[in-house]
Structures are given as C-alpha cells and as structure tokens.
Amino acid sequence: MPLSKKNKLSSQTVVHWFRVDLRTSDNAALHLASLKAKRERMPLIGLYIISAKDWKRHDASNWKVNFILKNLSTLKVDLETKFSIPLIIKVAENIKDVYEILKNVVEKLDTKYLYFNQEYEVHENQRDEMVQAILDSVEVKRIHDQCIVMPGSVLTQEGNIPKVFTPFKRSWIKFVYQSPVKTFPSPEKSEVELQPLAEDYIRSNSTIPFPNHDNFLNDFVLSTEKADFFKTYYPIGEDSGLARLTEFVEKKIEKYKVTRDYPALEGTSNLSPYITNGIISSRTAFLAAFKKNNERLESGNENITTWISEIIWREFYKHILVGYPRVSKNKPFKLETDNIQWNYDEKLFKAWCDGKTGYPFVDAGMRELNTTGRMHNRLRMVVSNFLTKDLLIDWRLGERYFMQNLIDGDLSSNNGGWQWSASTGTDSQPYFRLFNPILQSKKFDKDGVYIKKYVKELRNCSGSSLHTLTAQLQSFGYPKPIVDHSTARELCLTEFKRIYNK
C-alpha cells in the first residue's frame, strides 16, 4: 500500500549527482553527502544523467563513452551492495533537459540536499550555476574535488594565477606542505529505509543503456576489434584503477624518469583513463607516490618526483582553464599567436590523422591512437609538434582530433598540451618546441620496436633504416614523406618571426 496518493514522499532525501567522479572512495561530495544523510537520518541516493548530446558537443570519443558507461554499471553494483546506496540513471535527450530531469528527481524523491563535485569547464560551470538557481527548494552543495589543490589557491604575489609552470609548481608544493592532502573516506552504509514510492521511482529509472546500432548511443559503438582491445586493456571499476596505481607505484615508479620516454618500454602509469574519468581520484594517486617518496616533493627519488610533476602539470592546466577561460573558447593563451597563418590543407591533415605522413615515428603514434584510444606521452609531443610545426596546421584541429579519439581526453590537459606544442600556450619561444621527428625516433625508439608494432608494413625493415627517409621505406608499401622537415622547420620559424616582427 502506498503511503500517500500524492507523488510527494513524506521522508526527505539526500542526492549525490555523479558526473566525472564514478567512484565511491576519495570522493569529496559523496563523502559529505553521506555525512549529511547520516546526521539528518535521510536516505542517500545516487544519480547519473546520460547526455549523449553533451558528449558529442565535447567531442567525447567512443572509447571514453564506453569506458564511462561500463564503469557506471560497476559503480552501480558497488554502491548498492557495499553501501546500500541506490543509483538512478536518467537520460537527457537534449542538453537543456538536464534541468527538467533534476526538478523531476528532487520532486519524486523529496530531496532536501543535492551534492555534486564541481566541474571547471565553462559550459559545465554555467549549467551548475543554473541548477543552483532553479532548484530553490533544495540546498545545492557544489564541492571542490577534481584536483588536489583548488584552482585559485595557488596565486602569484599580485594575486593572479601563475602563467608559467615552474613558479606554479613551486607555489603548489609550498601550498601542499602547508595544507596536507587528505583523502575522503568512503560513504557510510545507508541504514535509512526508502519510502515505497521512492523505491518504485528508483526501480523504474535504473537501466544503463549501452551503445548499439539501434539506440540513441549509436554514434559511440566500438568496432568488434576495438571492443576486444578495450576488454583486455581497460579493466573496469575503481578497484581495477586502484590496482593499476598500486602496481605502478610498487614496480615502475622508481624507474619512471629513465623509462618514460621510450614508448616500447611502457614505463608510464597508464592511469589517465581512470583519473580523467574520475574512476580514481588524483589525490589518491598523488598520495600513493608521495608516501612512496617518504612524503617528500623536492628531494628523495627523482623518478617519483618526476611522476608527481606530471600530476602537477594536470593541476597547472586546470588552474589555467579557470584563470584564463579563453583557452576553452577556441582562443590561444597567447592571443598574438592567432595572427599565425595556419594551414588548413585537408589532404595533409588527413594524412596526419591516418598515420600516413611518411615519418615512421609520427605515423606509429597516430596509428596507436586510432587503434587503441591511447597514445604514449612521448608520441603526443611528437605528433602534435609535427602537425603544428612541420605542417603548420592549426593546433585546434589536432586538439579536436585527440578529443575525438582518446579514452583519456580531458579539456584542460589536452588543450594545455596542444598549446604547449604549438607555442601558443603558457610559456616559451617557438624554437624551444621544434622537434625533429627523425631525431626523436633515433633517440626514443632506436630499434624501432614501437614503430613496428603500429606501422605493420615496416615490420621487416631493418631498425636503422626506420630512421632514414630513403626510398627503401616505400618498397615496403610505406608512404613517401608528405613534407621535408628542414624546409618545413624554416617556414615555421619564419612565420613565428613574422608575427613577432623579428
């Protein structure tokens, strides 16, 4: 028997809206929501809103969407079995539907408190401000969680967000020593009974859709080949992410500085899909390394501090996004670099996308991306440099292509990385960022192990020939170089000199 004929329930609830935080451990807003629910003797309910149009708008890749949805289903089970927290799944057909959905949810569940972790991108921020404005009967709690140090905490003496990495890093380290980083405990097991109507509502909104050719997620279907790779390479769930972290810290981090640049060695952590999509928290990742280094940031093991530096780069670019939002509005950080006459040649761009530039190291990187949804960090620098400097193609095209194909695509890091390569970003002169793609492969893939893994037609080519661009490579069916590096280099330097009147 229902308690009442009205839709409204007598018992109020706390809702945690999951977004880019698909985990139960070290989740700031979820933890606080759980405390609130306990104190107020209310049930805690989880919510996730699927918005395919938002994914499209932000160029989310098939890999990323599948990764999110699979992790969502593991999260749902974890929440229910370990913490007695139900998870409601809603689908927003249009971007604006999110407001109606939230109104509906808070009404059906008689929600008193709505918690979520803050997102720093411009659209997401606007949405969240709107949510706070329209849900006037609800206490909306927007919590900082996404990075270790809240954007705006690290400032120059003049009160600005530092524009250069090294001073930022120094201040960041000082801040972390002064305010030690702590993880947030997992939520309490919910003891409060749900009202029958709420239970009905939850039960009828609990299906997670997966991409298939006949549903609204058909744009995100992975080919059979990719789906197979996905299963072995991206294990699902926060336990898998945490296990990957533990293994890295135990076995690899103390060699990180010496191995990370050689893609054939797989010396990197491969944690970015988990951190970017919120499957594990950056705090937890940082603390594991920090403890391994006996809580030191500037001394101890250089391999560990180098890895921690990479986490600080992530923090840096989040700060830049918040402090200088133009970078997410199609504008370069250095505005004057918009005077560069970028090339928009479609054939050249397509050759780059397809990994058919005729430069084996570049092509290996692009083919790794196209077949696996990831790319080794060294190659990200090499291919982005090749597109923006050798081809002089607009960095925004490359940035977009990366987002559309990476499993770990993150607006701030991706944008920061691309602008770093294109010399339109936060620091340094163009000539500091001009790579020689042949020299890079000689240095970092001497025996061609990485190249041969992805550029299959060159698998019988001798190691040293891979680093020359002789006609021999074409005899294997490999494309001719689409550009001459030293000519391209001169053209690029000339163009940068032109805009700086030098």
Residue 446 touches DNA, criterion: CB under 7 A: no
Contact in structure between 252 and 259 (CB atoms under 8 Å) = yes
Contact in structure between 202 and 45 (CB atoms under 8 Å) = yes
Residue 311 assigned as binding residue: yes
Helix, strand, coil share of the chain (percent; to 5): 55, 5, 40
Contact in structure between 137 and 106 (CB atoms under 8 Å) = yes
The binding track of 330-369 with respect to DNA, each residue x by CB under 7 A or -, is ----------------------------------------
- Of 60, 242, 311, 434, which one interacts with DNA (CB under 7 A)? 434
Contact in structure between 244 and 270 (CB atoms under 8 Å) = yes
Residue 200 assigned as binding residue: no
Q: Is 172 a catalytic residue?
A: no
Q: How far is the CB of 34 from DNA (least distance, A)?
A: 36
Candidates 199, 377, 436, 457; catalytic one: 377
Residue 493 touches DNA, criterion: CB under 7 A: yes
Q: Is 418 a catalytic residue?
A: yes
The size of the chain, in residues, is 502
Which part of the chain contacts DNA (CB under 7 A), choosing from 126-134, 173-181, 232-240, 427-435?
Answer: 427-435
Q: How far is the CB of 268 from DNA (least distance, A)?
A: 10
Which part of the chain contacts DNA (CB under 7 A), choosing from 81-89, 189-197, 373-381, 392-400?
Answer: 373-381
Q: How far is the CB of 267 from DNA (least distance, A)?
A: 13
Candidates 55, 352, 395, 420; catalytic one: 395
Residue 440 touches DNA, criterion: CB under 7 A: yes
Which part of the chain contacts DNA (CB under 7 A), choosing from 130-138, 217-225, 434-442, 468-476?
Answer: 434-442
Residue 317 assigned as binding residue: yes
Q: How far is the CB of 493 from DNA (least distance, A)?
A: 6
For 304-370, the three-class secondary structure string (H helix, E strand, C coil) is HHHHHHHHHHHHHHHHHHHHCHHHHCCCCCCHHHHHCCCECCHHHHHHHHHCCCCCHHHHHHHHHHH
H-state helical runs in 211-264: 224-233, 238-247, 256-259
Residue 192 touches DNA, criterion: CB under 7 A: no
Residue 257 touches DNA, criterion: CB under 7 A: no
Residue 482 assigned as binding residue: no
Query: Torsions phi, psi of 112, nearest 5?
Result: -100, -35
Between 64 and 485, name the residue whose CB sits nearer to DNA: 485
Q: How far is the CB of 441 from DNA (least distance, A)?
A: 9
| DSSP β-bridge partners for residue 90 | 49
Between 242 and 391, name the residue whose CB sits nearer to DNA: 391
Residue 352 assigned as binding residue: no
Which residues, including other chains, have CB under 8 Å from residue 390's CB and lie 6 or more apart?
437, 483, 485, 488, 489, 492
- Of 240, 377, 465, 474, which one interacts with DNA (CB under 7 A)? 377
Determine the Cα–Cα distance for residues 140 and 133; give it in Å rounded to an integer.
9
Residue 309 touches DNA, criterion: CB under 7 A: yes
Residue 270 assigned as binding residue: yes
Residue 314 assigned as binding residue: yes
Q: How many residues bind DNA (CB under 7 A)?
A: 19
Determine the Cα–Cα distance for residues 74 and 91; give it in Å rounded to an integer.
18
Q: How far is the CB of 444 from DNA (least distance, A)?
A: 9
- Of 69, 154, 381, 469, which one interacts with DNA (CB under 7 A)? 381
- Of 259, 310, 325, 342, which one interacts with DNA (CB under 7 A)? 310
Show the tokens assigned to 453: 């893994």
Cβ-in-10-Å burial (0-12, 13-18, 19+) of 222 comes to middle
Candidates 313, 343, 370, 436; catalytic one: 313
- Name the CA dihedral angle for 440, 444, 445, 447, rounded to a multiple of 10 degrees: 110
Show the tokens assigned to 122: 């411009």
Residue 378 touches DNA, criterion: CB under 7 A: yes
Q: Is 457 a catalytic residue?
A: no
Which part of the chain contacts DNA (CB under 7 A), choosing from 23-31, 376-384, 397-405, 475-483?
Answer: 376-384
Query: Torsions phi, psi of 418, nearest 5?
Result: -65, -40
Between 313 and 324, name the residue whose CB sits nearer to DNA: 313
Q: Is 55 a catalytic residue?
A: no
For 32-97, the three-class secondary structure string (H helix, E strand, C coil) is HHHHHHHHHCCCEEEEEEECHHHHHHCCCCHHHHHHHHHHHHHHHHHHHHHHCCCEEEEECCCCCH
Of 7, 290, 342, 347, nearest to 148 by C-alpha is 290
- Catalytic residue numbers, as ranges: 310, 313, 342, 377, 395, 418
User: By the criterion CB under 7 A, which residues form the site for DNA?
Assistant: 309-310, 313, 377-378, 381, 431-436, 439-440, 443, 485-486, 489, 493
Q: Which residues are annotated as a binding site for FAD?
A: 256, 268-272, 307, 310-317, 408-410
Q: Which residues are annotated as a binding site?
A: 256, 268-272, 307, 310-317, 408-410
